[in-house]
Structure 1
Amino acid sequence: MPSPVDPVALTAALVRCPSVTPEEGGALVLLEGLLSGAGFDCTRVDRNGVPNLFARWGRRGANRSFGFNGHTDVVPVGDAAAWTHDPFGAEIEGGYLWGRGATDMKSGVAAFAAAAVDFVRETPPDGAVILTITGDEEGASVDGTQAILDWMAAEGEAMAVCLVGEPTSPERLGEMMKIGRRGSLTAHVTARGVQGHSAYPHRAKNPVAALCRLMDRLDTHVLDEGSEHFDASTLAITTVDTGNPATNVIPALCRGTVNIRFNDLHSGQSLSDWLAAEAAKVQAETGVEITLKVVVSGDSFLTPPGSFSDLIADAVEAETGIRPVPSTSGGTSDARFVKNHCPVVEFGLVGKTMHAVDERVEVAQIVALKAIYGRVLRDYFA
């Protein structure tokens, strides 16, 4: 019997792969070698230059099939000189493994890959274990997990349930799991007026004033007070810009952007309609043309508490002594795509340093996370 897979060494090897979106960086090649050697059928599901990996142990179409989902791409390091350690060095110091992607989420991928390999070697299940790993979660996410799921549908591949290994714990491993996520929408607003001299504003149509009026209405509007499983929806103005360096010229153009994180009381379509209606009111009041380009990254979703979430919570509690709180907080993840395929829950490490300079993960947490994922597999197939 081969030795158990060391999730810390695997995390380090993955961190050394410079897989800044959209570069594969060798991370999926490394994982494919590990999984193929353990009897997984592996397929690269690259689409439009985006690297993705599908791996299945067991027969296609098995009644019981447990899936994991994660990503190996990472955000840019920023100023490399500001890092205490080489961002791609995977150095271990002070009980931490340092490097870009150490938390988000190469440690999670390493933990579930190591747990899956050991599980099928030690106790081959009556069913299938499936890993879906993308190189495009931090980017546009159009040809990442969505491409894998499209390919699976065409090939007759399916997961009965899926655990996404994103960081979910605020302070201590085990505190929180995600049973849903808020939706996300970004609206790019353009106001087109008539340029003129600032001393004669009646001869111009000021797009800045019109856009500020609209932004104020959006910002002061209360979307909701929250719902049973979700906090209140939020709207944030992220930029207002004219690009106008002159103090005595009313510009012809002004642009702004708002981002909305919304709960299950709304949809991307209903919020798009509301934004369009508000823009139309301001346009009618000011005579300034206002156009919108709305991008919906995903609607809100919820996996209702039940047997699957209990399975995850029981395993976490057994390994850590902490029962995770089911939550829908935070940003978006690829769970928003997986939920169209099967029930999905997210559970992973403490995410305090993700995307930050000196991103790092506690080595002991990687070991504990593998143990949790291993218990989840054993309990699911028991």
Structure 2
Amino acid sequence: MSVRKLEDKQNDNGFTIKMFEIMLKNESDSERRVVHQYNCTAWPGDVIDTSAHLIEFTHSLRKAKKEFGVGPTLVYSTDCQRTGTVIVVNAILDMAEESSEIDVFNFVKETLSSCPHIRLKENQYAFIYEMILECLFCGATNISLAHFPDRYKEIQIKRSILGRPVIQEEINNIEALLSIQTQNDYTLRAKVSEPLLIGMDIEEDVVYSNTKSTNSYLVPRESTLTDFYNFWEMIYKYKSYTVVMLDAEDERIGSLVPKRKMTKGQFTVEVLSSEKIDCVLKRILKLTKGKEIPREICHLTFLDWPKESQKPSYLGYFKQFCDDVREVQRTNNRDDYVTVCSLDESRSGFFCAVDIIVRKMNANALVDVYHTVKRIKRVSSSLLDTENHYKLCYEIANICADDSCDIYESINL
């Protein structure tokens, strides 16, 4: 037997495809076979969470099985639980193509009985349901920036296999998964008095809770936002140098920043400068704790989100505000927490979602609204009003995609 590599493709969606030629030689004849190897590279560490990469990998694998004919599929991993998960998900999807009914419980039960070395934990069992839901009703949610405007138009009119709008199906999936999240080991929660910590690793395509990463957000709870000492103590403790305020009209939050200077306990806050540009109020503050070295804080308030409204007055201004925050961090060369403040935590979650979506656009030229929103909601269900903010995330992504296309066209003129 001889083996020769024919091709090696690196896919942008988190997996590689390799082609091998196998020659089987005997005394009278020889047989040539071509084997396709799909290697998933986007399943980091101990993370038990679906991603656009895993969904794309599953769809590509199933497409290859149909294209290259019959025969068994060899599934292997150093983690037998992952092997079992891939086998079960693909078998259930096969079942869904042949029948209008699927039976996950009994299939998993029979699989585990026949393969005792594959032992699934409770969160892995929930993960299988999540993968099946997304594959059946959402499909590939990772969209290239260049194709996003056309895909966005298509998504608005496209229907799922149940006849519902695709965007509504994505919202239903998120809500369905959130309804059972209290039973999942991988759902992390914070105490009412503690801030919500959100970390996003753009390259790994993972959202973390209570873990700082390259893009991190700190969302204070209401009890902290209405107390001057507790708020600035939190800012000092987490070493946050950028504060975003989304409640311009609420006096309870407005009192956190003095007109000139204020001291309470060990903390003194002094306004060094204040500048209003369009819908943004930018202030530079000096935060001092006792006799320690003062810290300079950039405080940005968005002025165009009415108190009783579920969305900003104009999405273009909000998108520009998010850009301003990123520019402040880039200019100051900071990789610290962005503290996002609002008495309505869904506003804070919306800001985090938009910022992560745009950062991913800039880094990888990809848009994935579904998984970004799902992961933020998993940190806390109070982050984002799914029904309203989900569609707004798509709208802002479309604004960004149109801007990128205009820039590209102007460069090539």
Task: Please indicate, yes or no, whether the TM-score normalized by the shorter chain is above 0.5.
Answer: no
TM-score normalized with structure 2 length: 0.24
Q: Whose RCO is larger (CA < 8 A, sep 6+)?
A: 1
Q: Which has the higher helix share?
A: 2
